Structure 1
Amino acid sequence: MKPIWIVDDDQSIRFVLEKALAREQLAVRSFSNPRDVLAALESDEPQVLVSDIRMPGGSGLDLLSRVKERLPSLPVIIMTAYSDLDSAVSAFQGGAFEYLPKPFDLPKAVELIRRAVDESLREEVSDERNGPAPEILGQAPAMQDVFRAIGRLSQSNVTVLITGESGSGKELVARALHRHSPRGDLGTNGPFIAINTAAIPKDLLESELFGHERGAFTGAQTMRRGRFEQADGGTLFLDEIGDMPFDLQTRLLRVLSDGQFYRVGGHQPLKANVRVIAATHQNLELRVKDGVFREDLFHRLNVIRLRLPPLRERSEDVPALARFFLQKSAKELGVEPKRITEEALERLRAFDFPGNVRQLENICHWLTVMAPAQVIEPKDLPPELLQQRADTPLAAEVRPLVAPMMPLATAPVPMPTMPPAPANPGLPTLPPVVLPSPGPADAATEDADWLADLERVAHRMLDANRPDVWDSLTRQFEARLIQTALGTTRGRRIEAAQKLGIGRNTITRKIQELGLDD
């Protein structure tokens, strides 16, 4: 790994950061002015750059701009004792990874540099893999099944029915089926024409599909070719086919049967060499049973069926999709792409996404505009994600687990009083708990009780096929341990870390990750 470069005209700042990073086994190279940094960039480059904003001989913002020209993906942390709005805005507009006001808490500064290093290493891996943007992202087994099906259908013109919830990407799959077919880019390069049958009024849908002759109805000033004619030699994608009016279903069935149709008001039969791909979020079998969808049309469309999984069934794809959409949004808006922490990605993975991939894309667009910093933390996520976390059934499920982990006496045992702990705005208020030391039998019973509760909660979550069992229970467990330790030390973190047998940096990081200092 390359060294971290520290740029500051204050020798004491350089010394403190050098020592702190050395304890973390991180290589460091220090500079006192921007000129030396630019000279060093001719032959070397850092893993992360940490720069003061005001120095003799050059500005940290100017240095940021020059460095970003050469190394666009390099994380740059801007430090300053002048914590004004203009500096912060300028730093982020210039592509800074984060803005660190002085004086700073050293453990937090080291933790920030650690995050920048992690991001830099991820960017290196991403750069190695960078190529043309994939048509569809998906590593989940369910998506791999879809990819295999597209591959098997690549030499076929067979009719395909794509089912899946709204926003799951049905049109993307339809485009991929067309592109890789003999009619697509790799074949005759025929057109791909898409129409959403639910978005067009019933009176206009027939004309949209089949076209009309001049004078066929009021307002038909000229002859118009319909979508079937436009798609000749290519593919016609009929989205939301389940909402097609019943009388039009009969005309569609005839086209699928013999390839012939009439324009509205026309008398001459027309033929179109069209492959039809249909999609719906509805249960067509149920609509057939209810008498609102023709059974013969259903069987004509249902030659090959592809089920597109909802995003909640492929949560392992959320991080890659989120990073892709953040890059896409930044490019559309002409701004520097924002980065997202692993903790924020885990929060995204735990969300149900009723709107599926489309909803995730909208969230990433919102974050590109609204997230206050260049690095997206869990607290920056939109309200609906944070609200679900507060309302999730897990909160109720885990109560039996959490309570025994901080047990209160159930028998009428006299409890000594404790003066209230001093207020600590960085931590939740914890009730003072002082218990008599249990005997060996009592301790064994308590251990068995909370472990049994843990087992019951885990069973419920596993039976419900929750994708976040490990992460959710681990976060609850760690949060309650840390809260309990801080309650006994009256909020003193170093002492709490010692009692728990973990390091000072670890407890600081965990408090931030778990949102205990919100």
Structure 2
Amino acid sequence: MKPIWIVDDDPSIRFVLEKALARENLPTRSFTNPREVLDALADVDAGDPARQGPQVLVSDIRMPGGSGLQLLEKVRAQQPGLPVIIMTAYSDLDSAVSAFQRGAFEYLPKPFDLPKAVELIRRAVEESQREEVTDEAQSAAPEMLGQAPAMQDVFRAIGRLSQSQVTVLITGESGSGKELVARALHKHSPVAGGPFVAINTAAIPKDLLESELFGHERGAFTGAQTQRRGRFEQAEGGTLFLDEIGDMPFDLQTRLLRVLSDGHFYRVGGHNAVKAHVRVIAATHQDLEQRVKDGVFREDLFHRLNVIRLRLPALRERKEDVPMLARHFLQQSARQLGVEPKRISAAALERLGAFSFPGNVRQLENICHWLTVMAPAQVIEPKDLPPEVLGAMAPLAPAPAASPVAEVRPALEAGHEAVPSAVPVLPMSPPEAMQWPPAMPAPAAGAVPEAWEQGLEAEAQALLASGRLDVWDVLTRRFESKLILTALASTRGRRIEAAHKLGIGRNTITRKIQELGLE
């Protein structure tokens, strides 16, 4: 990974950030003034590890020999996609606002909380790497692969829509490649020169989603210290891709409908209408007609989105594409890891082709990455395939009557996610013990025995029988503690990411950790 460049004339600030980032295995390079940074940028050589450019730039505002704001402008002109974090004293808040408006990724007030600073820098690194992967994938790899008739129908539809900016609704199972179709629709459209901005509406907590979509004004809520542009403004003149639209909260659906109807919206806390010149493409794995009937999705919004519908086939419906996709993903994984590409035998391909791929193309990609790392030889044979593929081919033995714990274990061993235990009588395997590739989508409700609920019922009965009057509090604390600790384990202690995964706010998880004594 490329280093984090730190620019500050204060050696103590540089020292603290260098040590903190080193503990996170993030390389750094430090500078004392903007001139040194600009000289280093002019000397960047991607082929020389010692002369790599920055992954993220963290700069103070006021330094001898130059302003951080001037440095920001010059760096943004040379590398528009580079995240720049501006450090500032509280007295420089107006300067920070100015920096933000000029394109800074975020600002970091001094004196700063070190864990929060590291978390912010890590978030900027992830954003930078995501942009690099996207750019590399778009330039080096084919847009989409598929020879099956169902995929050829999709390609023809993209071609017919190439001269149109009409709203498109893409449907298909999770992992089937809906975002790839959206990117192809954007690339072959009249707004191809504009930005492509994607947002997964199911992955962002409800209390943050409105601000993410529409932006907010300074002072709109606690912590809103600057004006921030939302995804609609970021996508101006291009395409906004709303993934998993079926999971959008009902009250936000009304705001989205207004934007689609008249092209205007208001930032959170704002009073001036903002005009949106944006093409909207939405995607979902949900049955939106059924969700309309269930009263959780607005019918008028459904009709606004359902102008043109593209259905993306599941991988099991295009089995003839598995060999071509597998070879492509093996080549891609080898490039990413810097190793020699592995070949796959005809017998292994046949075995792979017989797998049902509940996780679709994404699961095949994960399997190929796993094979690149784990297969012992250069030629992949059937015995080298991952456990979920080999296990799916063998008949399942009938499960004997057993305890609740024995009922939960097979679900984990099959690669499915079981519900975390709420009480100690149902121990679960730790997240790191679960196999790679990641677990596939959980089976439909009722497919996994509800052993954890039986255990919860037994524990509740025992506590109630004991005459305790705080059963609710006891079990709630244990449940919340287990849930938060499991989420933190999966994110290696990163609270903001854990909160996002749990669907709660950052302040909520911080408060709960304090209340439950999990510090």
Structure with the greater alpha carbon radius of gyration: 1
Normalised by the length of structure 2, the TM-score is 0.49
